[in-house]
Structure 1
Amino acid sequence: MGRKPLRLRRPRGVSEVVSAAVVGLAVLVLAMRMTTAAVGALREAWPVLLALVFLAGTVGAWWNARAMGRRRRDAERLAMLRITLAEFDAMDDRQFEHALRDLLVRDGWPARRVGGGGDQAADVIGDHMRRGRIVVQAKHTRVGGKVGSSVMYAVKGTAGPAHRADHAVVVTNGTFTRDSMAWGDRHGVHWVDRDKLRRWAETGTALHELLGLSARARRGRFKRAA
């Protein structure tokens, strides 16, 4: 059988009524004291709370402004130049190099194409006021083609001695072998495969943002290898 619900019994007699009244009065006094203490604490802490609210609002506004600025810059870059993967695939080697040069210019890197005989593993060179010099080796392949580690070796070997570069990048419309990507990551040679190329050329992400290229604080990384 289920238990009967608990029911409060009305006070009986003068003594029980007085006791109930005393308990109720004590609870009321305690509640009033707690309310007074809470109000006092808020009165003393309001400058701190106001400062926290102001700080949170400032940080939120700064974050939104930064996000809006990034979206605006991406839109402006896309308005200047946008290249699809299908267009890259249809290019020849020379056209691919010119396209990469144009993308660097779009991102604020005054660049020139230098590819050709005796280019010493550099097809495009760009110079940025804050980020220094970048050397790009372009590898245009058939769809599904892979770039091996030998390209990474060549770029690493000439980036500093021949071109005085701060950053070295190998770009392909295909993919890289696992060994070549691992070697490049270990030795500071950046790589842009088909997926990164799409993000760079189609969605408007700047190359230095895509690869996390540093400013002048780390300048000369390849130059010291000369």
Structure 2
Amino acid sequence: MIVDECRRLSERIAEKRRLRIHVEQLNRFQRARDLLAGHVSRLAPLVNVCRTLRAAGVGEIRLDSAEECRAAIAELHAKYREGADSILDERTLGMNGVLRRIVALADALEAELRERWASYTAARIPSTNREVLDVLAAAFPREVGRIRLLAEQCERARQALPMTTEDFEAFTNVAKSLRRSWDELGGGELPSSVLDFLRSAASLRGASIELLTDEVRGWLHDHGILNSFSVRLTN
């Protein structure tokens, strides 16, 4: 009896030890899963942005780090198939392995996307200098108010990467509305030379002296804002 009880007790201890090891391994697998999921969740929206920009014809984005990341994940998958425990090795999964490559890919991809988006949007938004608008507000309060509102909307749209086609189209529409508002300044009856001057004056570089024609000077004088503009040297 005593021998049998000792044998059963020994078996129970061994079973308990085996179960404890399984629980520890399960916890490690879950931590590994959560680590991977956390980093992959950062990549998912960036991939959506890539697809949106590609569909809009903004350009194809190719990164060397993408191939490195793909190869590392393929290697991790192969190791998992050989032995599931192998992916719990910190050298395999840690920052020196797959996770480091995923982070590097996400950083490089986000930087490239933001650069592409900033360049694309900057080329499609008319410059809107606050000081020039302040000058024009006295003569065209309604139009200037709308230009300011649309300029703010454009700037907000530029700060967020377009996740969907709808996001991309929303920016396109507000940028078109901003350009149209400039065209409609003064009821759409501004002489083209005046409109060209005002648009250039609202840009970061400012208007060249060649744009200050007699017609433009006369219009500025008639609206009492001639002295609001000054000449400065540029490089």
Scaled by the length of structure 2, the TM-score of the pair is: 0.25
Greater C-alpha radius of gyration = 1
Scaled by the length of structure 1, the TM-score of the pair is: 0.26
Q: Which has the higher helix share?
A: 2
